[in-house]
Amino acid sequence: MAQIIQEYRDMIRTEIQKVIVGQDGTIDMIILAYLAGGHVILEGVPGLAKTILARTFARVIGSDFRRIQFTPDLMASDITGTNIFDIGKSKFIFMKGPVFTNILLADEINRTSPKTQAALLETMQEKQVTVDGIRYPLSPPFMVIATQNPIEFEGTYPLPEAQLDRFLMKIVIDYPRRDSEMEVLKKFRDGFDSDTIDDISFAPLKNSFLQECREEYGAIRVDENIIEYIQSIIEATRTHRSLILGASTRASIYLMNTARFIAAFDGRNYVIPDDVKRMALPVLRHRILLHADAEIEGMKPDSIVEQILESEKVPR
């Protein structure tokens, strides 16, 4: 039985809960993405603790953390860095941008132009930055946690499809339940201050925890019928009458990989169809594009994915 991943998940979640209340599902998905070596989008209206969650996660796992506030006037060099002429040395030197970190918070990523957003394409896929033909590798592990407001909000730009496809998953954060929000209010009433996260003491993790988790992950079985089930779901997105863009091959790989981690979270060393179903929405919702007619009818990506899951035969 898978135990190491499950134990580390519980440890990290418990530490994050010292700050974050009522977002256990979102916390689990961020942990999963980090273990899988992927990037995530957190979408929700302002004020739902997306930024605080990212900061707290980085502190708990003991990783370097940098934040970029995406604005309409942000330039690509503000993200990656730029060459500056050093008069004393009579040569150009590369000044590294904030992307050179382990956990990068791309805050409100859809408030800057697609041209600037594209500066993250190479870093997210190849874990490097190329400036004037010279490649500068990033220090592993590297993860982008991007926050964004719903696209209907004023002053937002849609992310290019090529960039969306590089995100392992998109997590939609809704308003908290009543009891969770009351607990938040009580924490602030009793003196909690989100600006003092750096002063909070978190239990340290072993330096080898990421390696241990990935070694256990490699032993989680994915039977042939599960692979066929995943492929059927992906193919259905490409032929659905309401979609003009279906999921990529990268999406099928991500769906399989995340299903394996979900199995580990549940203490199993094999994947079942429910693991695939559980990850279908976060992995696929940002990768499919609806026809204009479907949008006019009020359809959403989530409803399309749910239709596909209902229509595809589940293997035994």
CATH number (domain holding residue 229) = 1.10.8.80
pLDDT at residue 1 tops 70: no
Nearest to 61 by CA among 209, 188, 278: 209
Would strands 40-43 and 169-172 be described as parallel, antiparallel, or unpaired? Answer: parallel
User: Percent of the chain scored above 70 by pLDDT?
Assistant: 98
Distance CA 258, CA 271 (A): 10
Distance CA 253, CA 248 (A): 9
pLDDT at residue 285, rounded to an integer = 95
Q: What is the pLDDT of residues 111-162, one digit of tens each?
A: 888 888 888 888 999 999 988 888 999 988 999 999 987 766 666 777 888 8
pLDDT at residue 196 tops 80: no
DSSP state, residue 35: H
Has residue 126 been placed in a domain? Answer: yes
Has residue 202 been placed in a domain? Answer: no
Has residue 205 been placed in a domain? Answer: no
Residues 8 and 130 in one domain: yes
Contact predicate 146/167, CB 8 Å: yes
pLDDT at residue 59 tops 90: yes
Residues 10 and 155 in one domain: yes
Residues 227 and 120 in one domain: no
Residues 9 and 107 in one domain: yes
Residues 159 and 63 in one domain: yes
Distances (CA, A) of 197 to 20, 62, 118: 11, 13, 31
In this prediction, residue 110 has a pLDDT band, given cuts at 50, 70 and 90, of confident
pLDDT at residue 261, rounded to an integer = 96
Neighbours of 72 (CB within 10 A): 10
Residues 120 and 183 in one domain: yes
- What residues make up the domain containing 263? 220-311
Residues 112 and 44 in one domain: yes
Number of domains in the chain: 2
pTM of the model: 0.91
Q: Is the four-CA dihedral 152, 246, 308, 37 of positive or negative sign?
A: negative
Nearest to 252 by CA among 221, 220, 224, 276: 276
